[in-house]
Amino acid sequence: MGYSSEVYELAGREMEQRKLYAEQELEKRRNRLYDICPRAREIERELVTISVSAGKRVIMGSDVRKELEILKGRSLGLQKELDELLISNNLPKNYLEEWYVCDKCGDTGNIDGRMCSCMKNLLKKTAYEQLNRSSPLSLCSFEAFSLNYYSKIKDEKSGKIPYNYMQSVLRFCKKYADEFSPESHSLIFQGGPGLGKTHLSLSIAQTVIDKGYGVIYVSAPNIVSRLENDRFGNNSERKAETEQLLNECDLLILDDMGTEYQSKFGVSVMYNTLNTRLMTNHPTIISSNLSAKEIQEMYGTRMMSRIIGMLDRIEFTGNDIRQLKRRERRK
């Protein structure tokens, strides 16, 4: 896929940093070896001298085959001695080589003029990070989700005991995250504000990211605003990149659907994004404070049809945890 010039620049800097780091770490290892084994320094100097001598003889153009064979023999002998020194000091054979993140391209990002797979992955990772940079992805975890804020008294309206019910929701979300794959079902989290929808969706996102998948977590207002600014600001390059990332990432989490500014453009963005992902079987998680009726009123029958027919509904119940925490702080 195509990326913006900003993403290419950031990925290029990261690749340069990887190469520089490998070179700096090699120099540190080399100096540590010299400290414990001065003979290693002498061998490396002799190897350099032999290499220079061989080069000079080749440039001379005369028949120096015999001399080159002698130099080669000396070089092999010294290399063998160096290998034995490494072994005797319990060091790996490649101790005096650069340890690159990608051995295929040596952290250059290219192999014979073609982009290496590591560079393709880095571009994608960088694009995800740019789109996620305003999201609190690292702030929530399953371990930090407390059930203590949910009542153990049966709710007369729903007929559920919030504590027991939300315990099952927590188990479901953990299982979903642990077993996530590109074939996972799409979900919609529904319920009033402050019931844990954002916390659990962020926890899913973090677990799925740790499994190596590409995740985009955005609030509905932010993504509509970004695409709107790109469209009317004539930034077609970034708009195309954003739309493709939203459509193709392994998991898209749209938080706070229904809180974005109501407009034809916003409704179009939400419908097109969800519809494209569902039609291409890309898992999506939506969270919303809206009821089914309110979703239909805001987005129309087509959107509601997609949600009812293709998303598994997870209802959240209980009292507003944010208000409960505020009361605790005031005491």
Any domain includes 126: no
Handedness of CA 276, 281, 283, 286 (dihedral sign): positive
CATH of the domain at 183: 3.40.50.300
Final residue of a domain: which of 119, 154, 180?
119
| 193 shares its domain with 318 | yes
pLDDT in tens, 275-316: 999 999 999 999 999 998 999 999 999 999 989 899 999 999
Phi-psi region of 251 (alpha: psi -120 to 50; beta: other; left: phi over 0): beta
Domains identified in the chain, total number: 2
- Whole-number Å distance between alpha carbons of 241 and 231: 12
More confident residue, 157 or 247: 247
Confidence of residue 57 (pLDDT cuts 50, 70, 90): low
285 shares a domain with 143: yes
In this model, does residue 103 exceed pLDDT 70?
Answer: yes
How many other CB atoms sit within 10 Å of the CB of residue 146? 12
Which domain, by its residues, includes 271? 134-330
Residue range 140-153: average pLDDT? 89
Q: Tell me the pLDDT tens digit for each residue of 268-277.
A: 999 999 999 9
| Same domain flag for 140 and 109 | no
The verdict on 115 and 255 lying in the same domain is no
Please tell me whether residues 29 and 66 are part of one structural domain. yes
Average pLDDT over residues 124-148: 80
Whether the predicted model's global pTM rises above the 0.85 cut: no
Q: In this structure, is residue 124 part of a structural domain?
A: no
| Angle, CA of 277, 280 and 281, to the nearest 5° | 80
295-306 burial by CB neighbour count: b if 16+ within 10 A, else e? Answer: bbebbeeebbeb
Judge whether 92 and 86 are in contact, CB under 8 Å. yes
Query: What is the pLDDT at residue 33?
Result: 92
pLDDT at site 130: 77
Of residues 19 and 241, more confidently modeled? 19
Q: Does a structural domain hold residue 128?
A: no
**Mean predicted confidence (pLDDT) in 138-143:** 80
Q: Is the pLDDT of residue 250 over 90?
A: yes
Q: For residues 147 and 296, state if they share a domain.
A: yes
